[in-house]
Amino acid sequence: MSNNTLLETSIDPMIPQPFAVADIKEETHDTFTLILKPQNGQKELPFKPGQFNMLYVFGAGEVPISISGSPGEPQVTVHTIRSVGTVTKALRNLKAGDTVGLRGPFGSSWPVDKVKGKDVVIVTGGIGLAPLRPAIYEILRQRKQIGKFVLLYGARTPEDILYIDEIGKWRSQFDLQVRVTVDKADENWLGTVGVVTILIPKARFDPANTIAMICGPEIMMHFTVKELLQLGMKESDIFISMERNMKCAIGFCGHCQYGPNFICKDGAVFPYSHVKNLFRVREI
């Protein structure tokens, strides 16, 4: 895990920097990808897989959004967003050339520096694939140095599958096990139907020598962790991404407090061993 990279620079982490919308891509009926370029004279915005930015739509508000682009291409900042609230709907209405405010990158990162010599299992559901895409890019970049690489993805319906073309491309790679399942489908869908956890026993990897990265709704992560532990994985080798209401993004305001942690500063990515006593506690 890492600390906030922004705090290591001279940029005031509370002041949004202007970024121009370079492109907007429709992903599914309720998700889109926003491609941003800096307007403040910065050439690029380096980040680590798993980190997030605060995106500010002038007059509407600010939201935390995970970075979903490639760490190898920091000259563009990519965010895949689900259009569900006031600010995300305002983001959806932006056009190429419009300006947004951006603070970041913030937060911890996926353990892509710990995967050498190990198998890697990524289990994700819904929009949870977006925060993991930078990690997938990074792992693919160091593919020869890792063992088996498994990507298990669950979506609500076939129409909700994110990055469908890219998944197809990954699927065609002989050294990557990619399985996709949907919760609901009609008779025209010829793929797997069922929750994402059903894919875990079907994947081939060595639980004793695996790093797992999980991102999705909390209940999905709960059952995924349970399944991985049953296979014999260590709690410290399982990483999850927690979600709470983040406002300041630098651990001052307390909105995202999670027991002794602040999700924005100490997370959002945590080793399961670090948060297991908080995980699924109703009051937190």
Partner 1 sequence: MEKIKELLAAHPFFKGLSDAQLNVLAGCGSNVHFKKGETIIKEGQDANNFYVIRKGVAALDIHGGHRGDIRIQTIEQGEIIGWSWLIPPHKWTFNAHAIEEVTATALDGACLRKKCEADHELGYELLKRFSTVLAKRLEWTRIQLLDIYGTS
Pairing of strands 210-215, 238-241: parallel
Per CB under 8 A, the list member of 60, 76, 164, 198 interacting with partner 1 is 198
156/247 with CB nearer partner 1? 156
Mark 224-263 with x for binding to partner 1 (rule: CB under 8 A) and - for no binding: ----------------------------------------
Residue 191 touching partner 1 (CB under 8 A): yes
Distances (CA, A) of 192 to 8, 94, 154, 163, 222: 45, 36, 10, 17, 21
Residue indicated by tokens 């690489």: 149
Per CB under 8 A, the list member of 7, 14, 40, 84 interacting with partner 1 is 84
Residue 169 tokens, joined: 């491309």
43/204 with CB nearer partner 1? 204
Residue 20 touching partner 1 (CB under 8 A): no
Residue 183 touching partner 1 (CB under 8 A): yes
Per CB under 8 A, the list member of 17, 33, 53, 197 interacting with partner 1 is 197
CA distance 48 to 112: 9
Per CB under 8 A, the list member of 5, 192, 209, 257 interacting with partner 1 is 192
120/185 with CB nearer partner 1? 185
CA distance 141 to 154: 24
Nearest CA among 155, 284, 163, 276 for reference residue 222: 276
Per CB under 8 A, the list member of 57, 146, 150, 220 interacting with partner 1 is 220
Nearest CA among 12, 253, 7 for reference residue 106: 7
Per CB under 8 A, the list member of 114, 141, 143, 202 interacting with partner 1 is 202
DSSP-assigned letter for residue 242: -
Smallest separation (angstroms) from partner 1 to the CB of 129: 11
Rounded-to-10 torsion of CA 62, 123, 270, 8: -50
Cα–Cα–Cα angle for 131, 137, 141, rounded to 5 degrees: 150
Distances (CA, A) of 131 to 15, 78, 174, 213, 215: 23, 10, 24, 11, 8
CB atoms under 10 Å from CB of 92, counted, come to 18
Per CB under 8 A, the list member of 34, 132, 155, 214 interacting with partner 1 is 155
Per CB under 8 A, the list member of 216, 251, 267, 271 interacting with partner 1 is 216
Per CB under 8 A, the list member of 11, 30, 207, 244 interacting with partner 1 is 30
Residue 156 touching partner 1 (CB under 8 A): yes
Smallest separation (angstroms) from partner 1 to the CB of 125: 6
Residue 8 touching partner 1 (CB under 8 A): no
Q: Which residues of this chain interact with partner 1, rule CB under 8 A?
A: 30, 82, 84, 125-127, 154-156, 160, 181, 183-187, 189-195, 197-198, 201-202, 216-217, 219-220, 223
